Structure 1
Amino acid sequence: MIVCFDIGGSGIKGASAHSPSALTPIGRVPTPLDDFPAFVAAIRAMADAADPRAPIAISITGIVDPATGIITVANIPCIDGRRLADDLGAQLGRQVLVANDADCFALAEAMEGAGRGKRIVFGAILGTGVGGGIVIDGRIITGAGGFAGEWGHGPVAATSAGNPPVAIPRFRCGCGQVGCVDTIGAARGMERLHKHLHGLDLPSTAIVEAWLAGDDKAARTIEVQIDLLAGPLALVVNIVGPDIVPVGGGLGKVPQFIALLDQAVRRRILRKLDTPLVVPTQLSLEPGLIGAASLGFSEITA
């Protein structure tokens, strides 16, 4: 058995897993943000309640450097800069694995979702921001520094998009660069584009709802955003060569949006396909826990 956790800035969710697809929830608690002993205590209490000896696998927001094990996670200060797997393992007396949540999403889809039976899976995240993860032959590819799959960052966003074309500013990104895909993709990007195009401040959920109801302004926003996203994602497809690209996050739950993105990406890639490549997530419930469990069973019991 594996005890698995999905940890974000607001909460810690846990489950016991007898396989990646057989999860039993063990609860949810708030994430201690500034107190490492409290963070350890929260993990200990949930893990001990499930099994006092089982190894632990964690899906977490943040980047884990595979060479050092050091995690960078700005929204949980008490673990930022720590060798989290080693530190937790020493405190809890168990084997602990820690992986980025986007990587765990990609692994979950590869093993139990849309990528099941496929050799190469690129899991794209279109949630609050833009992220991703690469899985090849059932293993996460983290890359140097742990940054593989982070297609949302890099100054490659187009400065003109849509038909007819409209000028798009090079927005400043939270990573410190200007013109990242993250600035115009997913929920925040949709809201930013809608304001730029129409002068309207609306949440992404309202924009999507209006689009599906036939609103012309929302449709223009979606058209421009699809155009902006399709080029960078097509480049990822040409470089990585995935068999399938499952999309998670809030927009991964909007099949009409993903269908448009799929068509736009397939028009731009070298490989010619007449079947969908970019598809909605099949694991909208608990992909972090499923990914952590998959990581545990592939790495701990190997």
Structure 2
Amino acid sequence: MRIGIDLGGTKIEIIALDDAGHTLARRRVATPQGDYPATLQAVAGLVEAVETELGRRGTVGVGTPGAVSKASGLMKNANSTCLNGRPLPDDLRQLLGREVRTANDANCLALSEAVDGAAAGAEVVFAVILGTGVGGGIVVRGQLLSGINSIAGEWGHNPLPLPAGADLPLPACYCGRAGCIETYLSGPGLAADHLRSSGVALAPEAIVAAALAGDAAGEASLQRYEARLARALAGVINILDPDVIVLGGGLSNLARLYERVPARWGAQVFSDTVATRLLAAAHGDSSGVRGAAWLWPVAGRSREG
């Protein structure tokens, strides 16, 4: 039995999978905001509850915001800032009494979709989370790439390409930089852009609903979003040249992205044609937690943890 945990900013979700990927159990709780010890206890409580329910013990993989520094063993780059500087893998190992594998949440999305999701069978997969933050993960021939600095795929903290006009001034990012892709393409980034352009404060889902209802300001905000996403992904295609780009996170539910973004990205891709496919995550909101479970590979499958 493989247990996966998605340690999100608003919720902590757990899933238990058998070797075939069938769900045996699933639960979620609210994330204790800004409280590291309570977060650890919430994770431990979920593992205990699932193992008690199923009557057996499992391997544990955890998808986290940010990553574990290879230099210090401490968390870094997490937008859930109470995790930064903490020895999360060691603390979980101690609490749970077993080895725990961790990976960035976008890496877990990439792994899940490459194993048995929208990108199953693809040689090179880039997966994107468009949610509270913006992350990315890379799987090549079934192998999850983390990189020598544990930041492979972290495109969200690259600058937005070719900022001009409505992209300016560059928005400040929590990472200390300005103009990061995340500040434009996250849910809060979309909301902030709409407020700057229209003077109206709306949540991302309300902006989408307004656009669908014919609201000109909402439609303009979505068109700016699509153009920025296309420019940002064109840079990924030029460097990685993936077979498939998979979108996850709340904004990935916007169906128009899958036609409109590929129609735009060719202008910045250094090729006469672009065969890369843009697809929605087959497992939807479950991709991250499923990928965390797959950090422990099934015997006979080659995969990094």
TM-score (norm 1): 0.87
User: Matches of 1:260 and 1:271 in 2, distance apart?
Assistant: 19
Deviations 1:87-107 (A, max 9, x none): 322443322111111110111
Assess if the C-alpha contact under 8 Å between 1:70 and 1:82 holds in 2.
Answer: yes
Residue of structure 1 in register with 2:96 after alignment: 92
Q: Aligned partner of 1:258: which letter?
A: Y
Candidates 46, 49, 63, aligned match of 2:49: 46
Report the 3-state secondary structure (helix = DSSP H, G, I; strand = E; otherwise coil) of the residue aligned with 2:207.
helix
Tell me the residue number matched to 2:294.
294
Deviations 1:32-75 (A, max 9, x none): 53326735642552354245543211112232234654323463
- Pairing 1:245-284 to 2, within 5 Å after superposition: 245-273=245-273, 277-284=277-284
CA contact (8 A) 2:243 2:275 kept: no
Offset from partner CA, 1:145-190 (integer Å, 9 cap, x none): 32111111133453325xxxx4632111111101111111132222
The equivalent residue for 1:35 is 37
Cα pair distance change 1:244/1:266, threshold 3 Å = farther
Runs of 4+ in 1 over 6 A off after TM superposition: 299-302
Shift of 1:281: 1.8
CA shift, 1:272, in A, is 4.4
Q: Which amino acid aligns with 2:80?
A: N
Letter in 1 for 2:190: M
C-alpha distance in 1 between matches for 2:247 and 2:114: 12
Are 1:131 and 2:128 an aligned pair?
A: no
Counterparts in 2 of 1:51 and 1:259: CA distance versus 1, 3 Å: farther
How far apart are residue 298 of structure 1 and its match? 5.4
What whole-Å deviation, never above 9, does each CA across 1:199-247 have from its counterpart, x for those lacking one? 2222111111122223222222222222222222101111011100011
Tell me if the contact between 2:65 and 2:79 (Cα under 8 Å) persists in the aligned partners: no
SS of 2:115's partner is: helix
Taking a change above 3 Å as real, the CA distance of residues 118 and 204 of structure 1, as seen in their structure-2 partners, is same
Match of 1:4 in 2: 4
Q: CA deviation at 1:274?
A: 6.6
Q: 1: CA distance between counterparts of 2:205 and 2:164?
A: 24
Task: Report what 1:226 is aligned to.
Answer: 226
Which residues of structure 2 form unaligned runs of 5+?
A: none
Q: CA 1:256–1:141 in 2, change beyond 3 Å: closer, same or farther?
A: same
Unaligned runs of 5+ in 1: none
**Matched residue of 2:24: which SS?**
strand
Tell me the CA shift for residue 144 of structure 1.
Answer: 2.9
> Which is further off, 267-276 or 257-266?
267-276
In the alignment, residue 174 of structure 1 is paired with which amino acid? Y
Give the SS at the match of 1:297.
coil
What is the Cα deviation at residue 121 of structure 1?
A: 0.4
Pair 1:114-2:104 in alignment:
no
1:203 aligned onto 2:203: yes
1:62 to 63, 66, 70: 66
Q: Find out whether 1:183 has 2:183 as its counterpart.
A: yes
CA contact (8 A) 2:10 2:31 kept: yes
Task: Give the Å deviation of 1:283.
Answer: 1.5
